[in-house]
Structure 1
């Protein structure tokens, strides 16, 4: 079996008596985009800083390419690209100079691909970094990262400050990396972005991973929304597993939510009333996220 690019086992981090990470376990494989989601303060950035070798774990283990993230961080960084959510640049250098500097630090030269990325993200590389908005600072880091032939890309809230069009370009670039067999760890608060791009996700809550898997794996935790019209009258509210049933706009139309394990039985019962129209909306990542955080 192929070894995961990233392997984390029961990772812990304490700052004195404060526990920043309690129990973090997940893997990221080659050719996979892995989503890492949770609210601010849940431990996402602390996890990523530990993976980068910026801070040392207090317990557990984490390896990238089979190397320990703290002991072998210099070796790991030669095959890794990273973009934080708040990029700080050298104020008196131009964007183009900074991109070239970041590439040279990793032994990579400015290429035609770099020029295409500059054009695609609509960055003016001749302006001093001190004149850049937050979005333009993010573009500089993203262009440098996507210009490198890394094997593992870590993005921590990378689209903060980008407009929707540049968010779309970012997503396209990440999916291209996936097609090339690269591994991507994406930490994001934009749930639609994670849902669209990620093969698997991990949800972190109070410094602990509480759920890991594909969105399809997790949909048992939420309910499917149904709009149905029948030939003969029916009261779905009387059926098991039905929630929030309400009368629709048409005759014999109902709208309701149904638990996943009750869906076959509910549809069989409704079929006896001659279904005229049915619309089913599966739960989204936002629904799943609210399952854990909506009551807070």
Structure 2
């Protein structure tokens, strides 16, 4: 498949502090790419470098094969971007801001825009200064989803949104994916991005520590086991297992995939009464890859 975005060996310094360390990843057409890490890990710095909002010290960024450093204006015409910290003109109404942002990007207010305003339940007649954090966030989301571009970049896009509007966001991202569009989604809300992403990269202290497809990373990670056993004494027989926890006669622990046959045999011999074996969630993966060695 065609690569829409290529980031290669990106480095960025703020004085003596190295904010980005050889950051590399690529996103193919039609993919939703999750860029994961807590606040301060380097997600927003990477995105701002991609957009040319800050100048990186070394490395290359290409959009559809085009060097963005040399063709930034042309690149911006093919990108929709929603930042993590939204500022709106306080004396303009929400509708006026939407129309202004659309015109600035070379687009018009369409029936698609009207449908998004209705879906996200935004009162466009109110002044922006009266908006809550969630309503401010809706404005650039409506603009972004109104555009027909090659790459959509969302940096912590659901901050301040209530659960219903966060679900609306997920639906729109999945619709973009269905339409063959490409999305870079930066977030620390793992339960949300897990429903949307195809590939992901985990960043810590400005450095990519793991990347790949969600399914391949789940196959490499530990399985979660929850077993109900006859009594607490039997439960304690499994207390040597990794990440062991217990409540009454139920044991919960994690195992490697190559341990599965052995554990099943042991549980059968222990007269297991109920058993659940589930693949790791995205949160499990994040904790496994991020907490090893400790984050700084």
TM-score normalized with structure 2 length: 0.90
Q: Deviations over 1:62-101 (max 9, x none)?
A: 1111111221111111111000011111111111111111
Distance 1:112 1:263, change over 3 A: same
> What 5-or-longer segments of structure 2 have no aligned partner?
none
Q: Deviations over 1:177-210 (max 9, x none)?
A: 0000000000011110111111111100011000
Question: Which among 269, 291, 294 is matched to residue 293 of structure 1?
Answer: 291
- Say whether the 8 Å CA contact 1:229–1:276 is kept in structure 2: yes
- Tell me the matched-pair count: 293
The residue number in structure 2 matching 1:86 is 85
Where 1:5 maps in the other structure, the secondary structure is strand
- Greater Cα shift, 184-193 or 55-64: 55-64
TM-score normalized with structure 1 length: 0.90
The residue number in structure 1 matching 2:155 is 156
Once the two structures are TM-superposed, the CA of residue 258 in structure 1 deviates from its matched residue by 1.7
Once the two structures are TM-superposed, the CA of residue 13 in structure 1 deviates from its matched residue by 0.9
- Correspondence list, 1:9-158, <5 A: 9-158=8-157
Q: Deviations over 1:143-162 (max 9, x none)?
A: 01101111100000111111
1:192 is aligned to 2:191: yes
Where 1:97 maps in the other structure, the secondary structure is helix
- Say whether the 8 Å CA contact 2:36–2:200 is kept in structure 1: yes
- Say whether the 8 Å CA contact 2:235–2:251 is kept in structure 1: yes
Once the two structures are TM-superposed, the CA of residue 264 in structure 1 deviates from its matched residue by 2.7
Q: Distance in 2 between matches of 1:181 and 1:247?
A: 45
- Correspondence list, 1:246-265, <5 A: 249=248, 254-265=251-262
- Correspondence list, 1:147-296, <5 A: 147-219=146-218, 222-229=221-228, 242-245=241-244, 249=248, 254-271=251-268, 276-291=273-288, 292-293=290-291, 295-296=294-295
Distance 1:218 1:234, change over 3 A: farther
Once the two structures are TM-superposed, the CA of residue 244 in structure 1 deviates from its matched residue by 4.7
Once the two structures are TM-superposed, the CA of residue 231 in structure 1 deviates from its matched residue by 8.7
Distance 1:248 1:13, change over 3 A: closer
- Say whether the 8 Å CA contact 2:238–2:251 is kept in structure 1: no
Where 1:170 maps in the other structure, the secondary structure is helix
Q: CA RMSD in A?
A: 2.4
Where 1:204 maps in the other structure, the secondary structure is strand
Q: Distance in 2 between matches of 1:246 and 1:175?
A: 36
Where 1:57 maps in the other structure, the secondary structure is coil
